[in-house]
Chain A
Amino acid sequence: MSNVSLDRIVTFGFRDKYRGTGIIMTGKVKWVTDIDKSVLLNNFEKRGWIQVSASEDWNFYWMSVQTIRNVFSVENGYRLSDDQIVNHFPNHYELTRKDLMIKNIKRYRKELEKEGSLLAEKDENGKYVHLGFVPVTFMLPADYNMFVEEFRKNPNSTWIMKPCGKAQGRGIFLINKLSQIKKWSRDNKAANFVTTPCKETYVISLYIDNPLLIGGKKFDLRFYVLVTSIRPLKCYMYKLGFCRFCTVKYTPSTNELDNMFVHLTNVAIQKHGDDYNPIHGGKWSVANLKLYLESTRGKKVTDKLFDEIHWMIVQSLKAVAPVMINDKHCFECYGYDIIIDSNLKPWLIEVNASPSLASSTANDRIMKYNLINDTLNIVVPNGEIPDCKLNKNPSKEALGNYIILYEELAVNEGADRDLKNRPGQSFGSKVGRAKDFGRPISMTWK
């Protein structure tokens, strides 16, 4: 990597030349991208960064998930230098693969239960009070028998089958009869307990059939969460999340089970529905949602809902923190998909490692452009060549539309666990003040 050092000297030299002249010379960041989207390219260009190819020396690489797999795979032994950052954690799939996310959350809950932590408290029905934010889920074919047991307890329930390795709503279907997935029981008998390849595993979750409806329509929420460090956990939430509405009226009647336009809210699917509107794209800002809920349900329950959403995001990150590789060259901007039910309880549906950067409407394009802009301002401070040894502490202006969701200061492990067990104590070492869409409020978490 000697070329890198040479470049750095040259750039610094450049800076020295202009020192004292009042001209700020930032070393030009060299970037590469696998994702050819204008919201990215425009942001790089406006910073005056230089595009290079992957084989040259680069400082910033916006990778696809395939590339990150190769970069960090054991065979390649790629080592990143201190002035290189990438946009994924090596094993992000611990959070972003549906089956692994469930596995990690279940493990996290069991651990807390064993410790006797209050966080793992259960109610009289055996449901987790504070950590029950994922619908009951099983892995198939591995957990088939457990699933059947649960299914028989609620024979009228509907379940949603999702393939582990696919995105954008592909391959998803609903079932309400065991016979619809009988084929799994056949396959299961043949399989032994070897890890089934990802594309053949499914997760099956209890379908939330009482979603909150607005204007009679079903919707889900997308939030963007930026993680710059796993341990200690530092994450930011983008204020400008949005709701994605189904274009067709929601009805839980069984004949509609096959109509994917009613049930799935992925834009990729909705875009092909008859009523898709290219002006607003079926998207509503979270600000609108907040105004609507406050006006129709009251401020208290609305604040509680958003509090629970923040809590849920942080808990999901805490659940995967022990198994994630905390590579300091990495950051990641996740897309969290959340559904709210008619009791105003939020449910975590899934987390995306590569949230779509395509824009379906003009507003969308502006929002995603700003998202990338604010993200870059945090992970590449001042637009200068990154230095991974430094902690990122963005100023208020640099945050843009992000709020600091959670900031765990590094303390020794012992004190951390201690705090968890004390009743009534806010967990984690030092808890940063979460700004609730602008106004600083102290965390209302237990």
Chain B
Amino acid sequence: MEPDSVQRQLSVTIAHIVQRLRGSKLHSELEREARTCLHKSEVRIESLKEDLKDFLRKSGWEKKLQNAVYRELNVLPHPGHPAAPPEHTKESLMYLRRAQVNWEKRVLKSLNSMCAELGIPLAKKRSADEQKELLNKWNEMGTDEPDLSHFRPVYAPKDFLEVLINLRNPNYDGGDPTGLRSSWGLISIPLPVKDLSELRELFAELALNYEQLGIDDSMQIPVELFESEYIRLGQRVLSEQDSAAAQQYIRQGCPTGLRADMWALILNIDNQLEDSLYYEQLKSNVIQHDLLIDNLIYKDVKLTASNDDYYFVFEDYLYQVLLCFSRDTLVLDHFSYSSASPPKSYIRGKFALEDYTVVYPPNGVIPFHGFAMYVAPLCFLYHEPSKLYQVFREMYVRYFFRLHCISSHSSGIVSLCLVFETLVQTYLPQLFYHLREIGAQPLRISFKWMVRAFSGYLATDQLLLLWDRILGYNTLEILAVLAAAVFAFRAENLMEATSLATAEAVLADLSTLKVMPLLQLFLFATSS
């Protein structure tokens, strides 16, 4: 790119970030700090600007600002053409935009028809008695046993997969009528995805010559060789309170004792009083109003986490977090860089009148089967509901939302599917061909792993090591690489499978897998 346009793009980015941070809580805090420090002796009128900057740096406020800027950079959408309409920021490919809109319509229709069928309103206010009752059992909603038999999840990952399989780019003609040269997989759209050498470059710190947690902290290796020093380094990173440094550090994994703080630092969560108050506000919203969605959340938790060996203990926390999440309008922010749009509903009798639309649910996110599993692993790290809530919300608006909407983003689920299929076809062609022949398309098995970011499939300690790397590299592509690595690992047994069912059986239990050796071997020891 020419230096001129680079410069232009930089100023657009800076303007965008300034706009995001202006008027934020941090902004007012910085102003207040600046004003109070005017009374200090080391700030002189002649050199006001420098002294002020100095003071802010020494007192740690510059660091906080840095972290906030860094957070915005992490979620910054791709810079587009200055004249492009806002839809383009969400998703630049029109056919994908249209597909997402259609999908959303289907989901909303399904929700509305369930609502009509059951005769339950989408939202209603709770009576004073009901409110009191809910407040009393806020900490043990798991012991409740309402009749949920009429509720079904709005959709499950496999329904979404069918939509993705049917995506077509109307402008694309591969010039390959026989289909012999084309992809063997299910996804038929030509999105550019990284190949193995690009992935190696991206995940450079996972290479064989770098030490890793998940490999070099195993029992046979004495702590002095790597682990002790790495923990000390982690403690220093935490004391510096620098998000960017933490993100770099965590690429080699995070020690269990430091993980909760490290993730909070990377996600720029400081859990101040205002945040706890906000959480309490959300909680009171839940108490006052009953949403249809609540039953779906309840059912989802009962079907997934309650039956899980690792997460059943935290059942009650999951209700608390997810119910509050659905009331949180701050979540609507993320739709500016997501290809999705919040579903709109109309106040009764005012159909199609723009002024009377409400976003439903308030946070714009309709949960699907397995949604609760995004929260469950976090319960191992945070036992205080307000902090747990904030970490989950940030994880959702940075990463998880991409796993269930249609977009061309490199971390979007469509790209992940393509990366997965391409890797398996290129490096395990015999396996892919065999699986296709027996009617077991690999993506049909691995899709659910990727949509859930492997939560509920891997052992928790391994899952946390995987999510360390998601945070460190700020991308979900590692999920696709892991999925391919799992197939490579079990290739021998898969070659003997004779049907989709037997192939599923070979891959049913991933709880014994060690994630880092698998990733390392697949990325760096596969001959290309």
Chain A contact residues, CB within 8 Å of chain B: 214-217, 245, 248-249, 274-275, 277, 279-280, 282, 284-285, 287-288, 291-292, 294-296, 298-300, 302, 363, 438-439
Given contacts A216-B140, A439-B219, is CB(A295)–CB(B315) below 8 Å? no
Report the bound CA distance from A274 to B140 in whole Å.
14
> Which residues of A sit under 8 angstroms from B219, Cβ to Cβ?
438-439
Task: Pick the contact of B257: A214, A217, A287, A298 (CB < 8 A).
Answer: A298
Report which residue of A215, A216, A282, A287 has the largest number of chain B beta carbons within 10 angstroms of its beta carbon. A215
Chain A residues, CB < 8 A from B380? 288, 291-292, 295-296
Is B259 at the interface (CB under 8 A from chain A)? yes
Q: Which of B260, B313, B382 contacts A245, CB < 8 Å?
A: B313
A215-B313, A298-B257 known; A249 vs B461 contact (CB < 8 Å): no
A–B complex contacts, Cβ < 8 Å, 15 sampled: A216-B140, A248-B143, A275-B142, A275-B143, A280-B307, A280-B312, A282-B312, A284-B313, A295-B260, A296-B380, A298-B257, A299-B255, A363-B309, A439-B219, A439-B223
> Chain B, 437-473, contact with A by CB distance < 8 Å: what is the 0/1 string?
0000000000000000000000011001000000000
Q: Residue on B with the closest CB to A290?
A: B256
Does the CB pair B256–A215 fall under 8 Å? Answer: no
B312 touches A249 (CB 8 A): no
Inside 8 A of A300's CB, which chain B residues have their CB? Answer: 257
Nearest CB in chain B: distance from A284 CB, A: 6
Interface pair A216/B139, CB less than 8 Å apart: yes
Residue B383 interfacial (CB < 8 Å): yes
Query: 6 more A-B contacts (CB under 8 A) besides A282-B312, A296-B383?
Result: A280-B308, A284-B310, A284-B313, A291-B256, A295-B257, A295-B464
Within 8 A of A (CB), among B187-241: 219, 223
In Å, the complex CA distance between A300 and B223 comes to: 15
B381 contacts the other chain (CB 8 A)? yes
Contacts of B257 in A (CB 8 A): 294-295, 298-300, 302
- Name the A residues within 8 Å of B245 (CB-CB): none
Bound: A275/B302 CA distance, A: 11
Q: How many A-B residue pairs have CB under 8 A?
A: 71
User: Is B383 in contact with A277, judged by CB distance below 8 angstroms?
Assistant: no
What residues on B are CB-neighbors of A287 within 8 Å?
461
Is the beta-carbon distance between A296 and B260 smaller than 8 angstroms? yes
Shortest Cβ distance from residue B56 to the other chain A in the assembled complex, whole angstroms: 32
A300 CA to B257 CA, complexed, in Å: 9
Q: Which residue of A lies closest to B231 (CB)?
A: A299
How many angstroms between the C-alpha atoms of A326 and B462 in the bound complex?
44
Q: Does B316 contact A (CB under 8 A)?
A: yes
A280 and B309 contact, Cβ closer than 8 Å, known pairs A249-B140, A288-B460, A291-B380: yes
**Which of B223, B306, B313 lies in contact with A214, CB distance below 8 A?**
B313
Question: B306: nearest residue on chain A (CB-CB)?
Answer: A277
Among residues of B, the one whose C-beta sits closest to the C-beta of A243 is B313
State the Cβ distance, A312 to closest chain B Cβ, in Å.
23
Write the nearest CB–CB distance from B495 to chain A, whole angstroms: 27
Give B299 Cβ to nearest chain A Cβ, in Å.
16
Q: When the two chains form their complex, are residues A274 and B307 in contact, meaning their CB atoms are under 8 A apart?
A: no
B256 and chain A: residue at smallest CB distance: A294
Chain A residue nearest in CB terms to B221: A439
| Closest A residue by C-beta to B139 | A216
Is B314's CB under 8 angstroms from A215's CB? Answer: yes
- Establish whether residues A295 and B313, one from each chain, have CB atoms under 8 Å apart when the complex forms: no
Chain B interface (Cβ < 8 Å from any Cβ of A): 139-140, 142-143, 145, 219, 223, 255-257, 259-260, 306-310, 312-317, 379-383, 460-461, 464
Contacting pair B317 A215 (CB below 8 A): yes
Cβ–Cβ contact B307 & A296, under 8 A: no
User: With a CB–CB cut-off of 8 A, which chain B residues contact A282?
Assistant: 312
Pick from A277, A285, A294, A438: contact of B307, CB under 8 Å: A277
Bound CA–CA A298/B257 (angstroms) = 4
Within 8 Å by CB of A216, from B145, B310, B316, lies B316
Q: Is the CB of A277 within 8 A of B260?
A: no
Query: Chain A residues with Cβ under 8 A from B310's Cβ?
Result: 284, 288
Closest CB-CB distance, A241 to chain B, in whole Å? Answer: 15
| B382 and A274 contact, CB distance less than 8 A | no
Assembly CA distance A438 to B222 (angstroms)? 12
Give the CA-CA distance A50 to B59 in the complex, in Å: 77
The reply to whether A249 and B139 form a contact with Cβ atoms under 8 Å apart is: yes
CB contacts (< 8 Å) of A302 on chain B: these are 257
**Measured CA separation A288–B461 after assembly (Å):** 8
Chain B residues, CB < 8 A from A277: 306-307, 312
The residues of A that contact B315 with a CB separation of less than 8 Å are 215
Residues in chain B near residue A299, CB distance under 8 A: 255-257
Min CB distance, A118 to chain B, in Å? 29
Evaluate whether A291 and B308 lie within 8 angstroms (CB atoms) in the complex, with A249-B316, A298-B257 already known.
no
Taken together as a complex, chains A and B put the C-alpha atoms of A175 and B460 apart, in Å, by: 40
For A247, give the chain B residue with the smallest CB separation: B143
Q: How far is the CA of A249 from the CA of B140 in the complex (A)?
A: 6
- Residue numbers in B under 8 Å from A275 (CB-CB): 142-143
A376 to B94 Cα, complex, angstroms: 67
CA distance A274 to B381 in the complex (A): 29
Q: Which residue of B lies closest to A217 (CB)?
A: B313
Contact B309 A291 (CB under 8 A): no
Closest CB in chain A relative to B414 CB, distance in Å: 33
Q: Which residue of chain B has its CB nearest to the CB of A300?
A: B257
In the complex, which residue of chain B has the Cβ closest to the Cβ of A289?
B313
Chain A to chain B: the 3 pairs with minimum beta-carbon distance, closest first: A438-B219, A299-B257, A249-B140
Smallest CB separation, B465 vs chain A (Å): 11
Known contacts A298-B257, A299-B256: A215-B316 contact under CB 8 Å: yes
Identity of the chain B residue whose Cβ is nearest the Cβ of A213 in the assembled complex: B383
Per the bound structure, the CA–CA distance linking A84 and B306 in Å amounts to 47
Q: Which residues of the partner chain B approach A214 to less than 8 Å between Cβ atoms? A: 313, 383
Is the CB–CB distance between B306 and A295 below 8 Å?
Answer: no
Q: How far does the Cβ of B226 sit from chain A's closest Cβ, in whole Å?
A: 14
CA distance A327 to B308 in the complex (A): 44
CB pair A296 B140 closer than 8 Å: no
Give the distance to chain B from A351, nearest Cβ to Cβ, in Å.
26
Q: Which residue of B lies closest to A301 (CB)?
A: B257
Per the bound structure, the CA–CA distance linking A288 and B256 in Å amounts to: 12
List, in ascending order, chain B residues with CB within 8 A of A363's CB: 309
Closest residue to A441 on the B side, CB-wise?
B223
How close is A401's CB to chain B, nearest CB, in angstroms? 13
Give the residues in chain A near B255, CB-CB below 8 Å.
299
Give the shortest distance, in Å, between B327 (CB) and chain A (any CB).
22
| Most chain A beta-carbon contacts within 10 A, residue among B145, B257, B259 | B257
Question: Which of chain B's residues have a CB closer than 8 A to the CB of A249?
Answer: 139-140, 143, 316
CB neighbours of A280 from chain B (8 A): 307-309, 312
| Cα(A139)–Cα(B380), bound, Å | 40
Interfacial chain A residues near B140, Cβ < 8 Å: 216, 248-249
Are B381 and A296 in contact, CB atoms less than 8 angstroms apart? yes
Separation of A296 and B378 alpha carbons in the complex (Å): 11
B141 and chain A: residue at smallest CB distance: A249
Which residue of A is nearest B222, CB measured? Answer: A439
Q: Give the docked Cα–Cα distance between A300 and B255 (Å).
A: 12
- Which of A216, A299, A438 has most chain B Cβ within 10 Å? A216
Task: For A435, give the chain B residue with the smallest CB separation.
Answer: B219
The reply to whether A295 and B259 form a contact with Cβ atoms under 8 Å apart is yes
Residue from B310, B316, B381 with most neighbouring chain A CB atoms (10 Å): B310
Q: In whole Å, how far is A343's beta carbon from the nearest beta carbon of chain B?
A: 15
Q: Which of B255, B309, B379 has most A Cβ within 10 Å?
A: B309
Measured between alpha carbons, how far is A285 from B308 in the docked complex, in Å?
Answer: 12
Question: Which residues of chain A have C-beta atoms less than 8 A from B139's C-beta?
Answer: 216, 249
Contact of B256 among A285, A295, A439 (CB under 8 A): A295
**What's the Cα separation between A216 and B316 when bound, in Å?**
8
Cα separation A312 to B428 with both chains bound (whole Å): 53
Residues of A near B256 (CB, < 8 A) are: 291, 294-295, 299
**C-alpha gap A411/B74 in the complex (Å):** 65
Bound together, the chains give a CA A287 to CA B309 distance in angstroms of 12
CB-contact partner of A215 in B143, B145, B223, B379, under 8 A: B379
Shortest beta-carbon distance from A366 to chain B in Å: 12
Q: Do A295 and B381 touch across chains, with their CB atoms under 8 A apart?
A: yes
Give the most central of A285, A294, A302: most B CB within 10 Å.
A294
